Amino acid sequence: MAVFGTVFMPEMAITTFENDTWSETKFVSSESIPMHPGAHVLHYSSTCFEGLKAFRHDDGGIYVFRMDQNLNRFEQSSQLLNLPAIDKAQVEQMILSIVGQYASDVPEPPGSMYIRPTHVGTEASIGKAAAPSLTSLLYVLLSPVGDYFTGGAKPLRLLLDETGMRCAPHMGMIKSGGNYASALGPILAARSEVQADQILFCPNGDVQETGAANFILIDGNEVITKTLDSSFLHGVTRSSILTLAADLGMTVSERNISVDELLERAAKPGVEAALSGTAAVLTPVGTFIHNDKEYQVGNGEAGPTTQKLRQALNDIQWGKAPDKHNWLVKVK
C-alpha cells in the first residue's frame, strides 16, 4: 500500500464563497485548484481542515464516523480564523456525495476512505496581513488508506518538551496549517537529536498533546487525559475513546497532568500511554525522554488496555459491534 495520504480519488467536491454566498457544489478534478498567487491563504495562512473516515461494512454498506463532530470543529476553526462561515448542511452533503461517488473504492477493513475537508482564504490581496479574506474556497478531498499499523503497532518514543509550545495558545483548538508548521522544526530536531518519534508538548510542565494527536494515560482501570481548554485540539477520537472507556466500566479522569506525575506513574506496572487521532486511532507509547533520561512506560510494549480500547472503537467503525451512540452515518 502507498504511503498514507498520497493517493487521491480523481474528483473532489468544491464550493466557493463570494459576494456573501456559497456557490452550488461542483464536482471537479482533484489534480489542481485555481488560485491567485496573491491569495490570502498563501501569505497569511487562512487555512483549516478536517480529517474523518468512511468505513466499509461486511454487508457492503459505507458509513462515515462522527461527521457531526468534524463539521462542528470545521465551523469553529473557520470562525476562529475569521474565514467565511461554512454552511454545515452543504458541507455534509458534499461529504456524502463525494464518498457516495467513490463508494466502490472504499477499502475493506483495516483500510478506510480518509476524508479531508479543507477551507482556505482566496482573496487576492497581499495588503490584508491584518484583515480577513472576504472570499474562500472549500473542497472535500478523498484518500483511500490502508492499515496504519502494517508491521505492528511499534510503541512510540516521545520527547517531553517543557519549554517549547506546539503553537500559540490561542490557536490550539483550530485545526490549521500554521500550527503544524510551527511544530515541525522542534519535531525534526527531536528526531535527529534523541531519535524521538514525536514531541509531547508540556508547556510549563502541563502535559498537552503531540504535533497531531491527543495524549492519553492509562493506569489500571483509570483513563486520564487533559481536560478540554482552548490551548489544544479537541480530538474526536479522544472523546470516542473516553466514552468507550466509560462503557467498559473504566474511570475517566479529565484533568491536567504534570510532567512530574507522568514520569512518576510511568514506571508503575499496569500503566500505559497512547496517542489518539483519526489516522492511527490509538498508538501505544513505549518511552518518554526527558532531560536526557529515558523512562519506559509499563514494560515498554503495547499495553492490553490500549489494544482493547482501539479494538472497541474499530469494532464500531467496522460494523462488528452495535453502534450504541449513533456515531455512524450511512452513505449508501
Ligand X SMILES: *Cc1c(COP(=O)(O)O)cnc(C)c1O
Range in contact with ligand X (rule: CB under 6 A) among 127-135, 194-202, 234-242, 317-325: 234-242
Considering CB under 6 A, how many residues would be counted as binding ligand X?
14
Of 214 and 305, CB closest to ligand X: 214
Query: Using CB under 6 A, which residues numbered 154 to 183 contact ligand X?
Result: 175
Query: Using CB under 6 A, which residues numbered 18 to 37 contact ligand X?
Result: none
Q: Judge if the upstream peptide bond of residue 110 is cis by omega within 30 degrees of 0.
A: yes
Residue of 98, 120, 112, 114 lying closest to 49 (CA atoms): 120
The whole-angstrom separation of Cα 39 and Cα 50 is 21
Which one of 15, 133, 237, 306 is in contact with ligand X (CB under 6 A)? Answer: 237
Task: Please count the CA atoms within 13 angstroms of the CA of 142 that sit on its side-chain side.
Answer: 30
State the angle between helix axes of 236-247 and 304-317 in degrees (0 to 180), rounded to the nearest 10. 110
Strand partners, 63: 55, 330
* 237 residue type, one letter: T
Residue 330 burial (10 A CB sphere; 0-12, 13-18, 19+): exposed
Residue of 8, 116, 99, 5 lying closest to 61 (CA atoms): 99
Q: Is 175 a catalytic residue?
A: yes
Of 135 and 310, CB closest to ligand X: 310
294: three-class secondary structure by DSSP: strand
Is 235 an interacting residue with respect to ligand X (CB under 6 A)?
Answer: yes
Of the candidates 26, 154, 175, 332, the residue annotated as catalytic is 175
Of 135 and 153, CB closest to ligand X: 153
We find the least distance from the C-beta atom of residue 232 to ligand X, in angstroms, to be: 7
Site string for ligand X, 51-90 (x = CB under 6 A): x---------------------------------------
The whole-angstrom separation of Cα 31 and Cα 22 is 22
Query: Using CB under 6 A, which residues numbered 267 to 296 contact ligand X?
Result: 276-278
Q: Which three cell numbers stand for residue 35?
A: 488560485
We find the least distance from the C-beta atom of residue 32 to ligand X, in angstroms, to be: 25
The whole-angstrom separation of Cα 66 and Cα 238 is 12
We find the least distance from the C-beta atom of residue 145 to ligand X, in angstroms, to be: 13
Is 236 an interacting residue with respect to ligand X (CB under 6 A)?
Answer: yes
Of 241 and 262, CB closest to ligand X: 241
Query: Using CB under 6 A, which residues numbered 185 to 224 contact ligand X?
Result: 209, 212-214
Of 197 and 209, CB closest to ligand X: 209
Residue 189: other Cβ atoms inside 10 A:
15
- 137, 48 in Cβ contact below 8 A? no
Residues tagged active-site: 175
Q: Which residues here bind ligand X, judged by CB under 6 A?
A: 51, 175, 209, 212-214, 233, 235-238, 276-278
